Structure 1
Amino acid sequence: MGNGTSDFSGTGRDGGYPPIAASGQDRPELQTAIREIVDSGFAGVQLRVHDERGEWVDSAGVRRLGEAAKPPTNGHFRIGSNTKTFAAALVLQLVADGRIGLDRPVAAYLPEFPLDRRITVRMLLQHTSGVFNFTGEYYPDGTVVAGIPWQGQEWVDKRFKTYRPQELVQLALSKPARFEPGTDWSYSNTNYVLARLLVEQVTGRSFVEEMQRRILQPLGLTGTVSPESSPEIPEPHAHGYYTYQDAGRWKTVDITRVNPSWVSTGGDMISTTRDLHLFISGLMGGKLLPAPLLAEMCTPRPTPVPNMGYGLGVFVQDAGPDGGTLITHNGGFAGWAALMYSTPDGSRTLTASLTTGDAEMDFAEWAEAFQKAQHRLVTEVFCGGPARSDDDAAPVR
């Protein structure tokens, strides 16, 4: 990331960006797509598209259940695992500064933890460390090894509990590793909590301070927050809801206010569609990292998991016919989902927020609905629409 000092703070209509298309005009296919996503069970959608036709912004659904107002198009939302891309970019900036070695053992920086010395910084960012995922591991044979609660009544009851990052790492390291370092791929939130602690150890500052200083301020991301343990979300915002079964009965809880420390740097940040656009387009446009490190970030390494396409904090995805390559990382957080897609040069982006409502769907059903929503929007924006059948879709994660 060099030092993230480029001035990239233009905003909205007066900041030098393409003009915003009037809401719903000129892009009826996008307006139809977000309405149909709401019809599939989501409470609301915010969508922002930047391409050769300019900037298009709109929303559909409701800001809050029981009310008629649409979600604000400049609304804040919880971005879930998009946080990982921010964290990876910050670590890679420190690599560019010579303060972190991408292929050095993590244990050399964090000796207080009993880490396998074969685990490198690169393995954290690429999810090839094998470290147990503190939110639980799910094995192909159906075996589940529980971590901290993150769904169901137990999570609802504990949603204001504060977890320290060290606590999450210690829990993960008390469990068996999933595989030998570097021999496989498995998505683990623990990797990015370790990355957070690594940043703090090397810089002597908090992760939040370094994120603000190196990424948020240089890019003008005025709507992005690293909340640590605060349950608050800045106004304006839509509301997120968690629907689940307890003792055979469906319940819906407004979980707009929630302490996100249970996921830490695995997915705790808050942002807006504007800021996600500025971030991913700035990152891909070379505003944050020197070209060799950006290339490293966007180059998947072969792993035993076929077609995973994971670089360092980003998925590298084939969008299918006429869609080309996309750089992406999406996020899910109870009540919320976030989309962030860009072409490799940052010239075309899609950023979106989806809020769940009171539809009686379990986690797997919500995940399927989210997958279909992603596919629909990616197809419309990057592949020229109309949406293809799911059987023809490239994997979207």
Structure 2
Amino acid sequence: MTVLTTAAPALATAPPAAPGTRTAAVASAPGHEATGREVRALLSTGTPGALAVAEDSRGTWYASAGTAERGASVTPLPDHRFRAGSITKMFTATALVQLAAQGRLRLDDTVDRWLPGLVRGNGNDGRNITLRQLLNHTSGLYDYTSDPEFVRSHLTGENFLRHRFDRFTPQQLIATALAHHPYHAPGKGWNYSNTNYALAGLVIEKASGRTYAQQLRRTIIEPLGLRQTTVPGTSAEVPAPRLRGYSKLGENDSSARVHDVTRMSPTVPNAAGEIISTAPDLNRFLSALMSGRLVPEPWLRQMRTTVPLNDQLSYGLGLLARKLPCGKTVWGHGGQIQGYLSYAAATGDGTHRATVAVNSDWPDPARLDKVLDAEFCQG
């Protein structure tokens, strides 16, 4: 195996503001030293590169380590796009809650009210599952990305490389899930399931009369000026400038071959994880959401009504609440998809937000938690 070297692990040293970046970010500022150390420490996982962008009342700051592209010294910068994975769920949940706030639907409508007859069989019944239960993962529906045959044939190993440009409809993915019995009765437990958000995307289309992508662009992306955020649909590309994404295809061995998987069909993650974005755009989204600019305050309270998962974590409507070691609570979501890991979070009022991303999918996601712990627990 050819060994490709990466740029030296160091904080970026104040290059000119990246093209397209709305707010100039500085690469060093008092109070962020611990965050920078944790970003540099991510390189010990073997990831080619890492980036964190934080914003608060003092301005915008970033830490960068490694490279955006293996075999090249390309410093990861704030305007580099990456696949945001399940961070997409915050956008999907927001779009559906916006429709509820407009009176176009009710969160306690059944899935069958909007998608009649689609969820049936093997103990699954859309007549007993509400839209709220989709968004907070209490529906009990099986996660199609856990189907053993689908994982083997499309998500891991050489089969992923052979099939990574295959296209799926949400209905096909949902059918894969419905071949399994539910995890539990609706509302009687909690299980993370991408199937919930594949269904939520279809409900958004039915209630809005627009495609999922059109609705997100119309009500979130364009109003907030998220110029570097895209809903790719069937496009396999990550627009430049970008972090190239790398994967070991599910192998945990440190010597496993690393593959460039930047290009892939986004139809498997769809409304559960297809968005491409940048750290500043995700921070701007969270600032708007937490401050009530995207949904009225009563509806934001519903989004932040959570199901406890453990002492540190609870899950609302597309939002994960995490209690940090210093006692603060931040709101956001993580993203994991072939080639990328990321996490975007903000304080409850949106005044302090941060996003961290690596261009690989094998590090322990808890390593990204440490970056956010350092940022939000400064001093």
Tell me the TM-score normalised to structure 2 length.
0.87
CA deviation map 1:109-146 (0-9, x unaligned): 10140341110000000001111111116xxxxxx686
| Kept after mapping to 1: 8 A contact 2:320/2:333 | yes
Q: Tell me the C-alpha RMSD between the 2 structures.
A: 2.3
Runs of 5+ consecutive residues of structure 1 not aligned to the other structure: 1-11, 138-143, 357-362, 386-397
**Matched residues in 2 for 1:367 and 1:337: separation?**
8
| Kept after mapping to 1: 8 A contact 2:287/2:353 | yes
Match of 2:319 in 1: 314
**Matched residues in 2 for 1:136 and 1:93: separation?**
30
1:325–1:31 distance in 2 versus 1, CA, 3 Å = closer
Matching of residue 22 in structure 1 with residue 32 in structure 2 = no
SS in 2 for 1:337: strand
Match of 2:273 in 1: 267
Between stretches 36-45 and 222-231, larger displacement belongs to 36-45
SS in 2 for 1:214: helix
SS in 1 for 2:257: strand
Matching of residue 108 in structure 1 with residue 118 in structure 2 = no
Equivalent AA in structure 2 for residue 131 of structure 1: L
Match of 1:340 in 2: 344
Given candidates 230, 244, 250, the residue that maps to 1:239 is 244
Matching of residue 373 in structure 1 with residue 379 in structure 2 = no
The aligned runs of 1:1-397 (5 Å cut-off) are 20=24, 22-26=26-30, 27-115=32-120, 116=125, 117-136=127-146, 149-244=154-249, 250-301=256-307, 308-321=313-326, 323-356=327-360, 366-368=362-364, 370-375=365-370, 377-384=371-378
Q: Residue 165 of structure 1: CA displacement?
A: 1.0
**Aligned length in residues:** 352
CA deviation map 1:256-285 (0-9, x unaligned): 111111121111110001110110010001
Query: Identity of paired residues, percent?
Result: 34
Runs of 5+ consecutive residues of structure 2 not aligned to the other structure: 1-16
SS in 1 for 2:89: helix
Equivalent AA in structure 2 for residue 267 of structure 1: G
SS in 2 for 1:47: strand
Q: Residue 307 of structure 1: CA displacement?
A: 5.7
- Structure 1 runs of 4+ aligned residues shifted over 4 Å read 144-148, 305-308
Q: Residue 320 of structure 1: CA displacement?
A: 2.6
Equivalent AA in structure 2 for residue 348 of structure 1: H
Match of 1:394 in 2: none
1:33–1:307 distance in 2 versus 1, CA, 3 Å = closer
CA deviation map 1:286-330 (0-9, x unaligned): 111111110110121357x77640000011111132x41110101
SS in 1 for 2:256: strand
CA deviation map 1:239-267 (0-9, x unaligned): 11111478x98322111111111121111
Q: Residue 25 of structure 1: CA displacement?
A: 4.4
| Kept after mapping to 1: 8 A contact 2:98/2:295 | yes
**Matched residues in 1 for 2:231 and 2:104: separation?**
23
**Matched residues in 2 for 1:378 and 1:71: separation?**
18
1:294–1:158 distance in 2 versus 1, CA, 3 Å = same
**Matched residues in 1 for 2:219 and 2:234: separation?**
21
Equivalent AA in structure 2 for residue 110 of structure 1: L
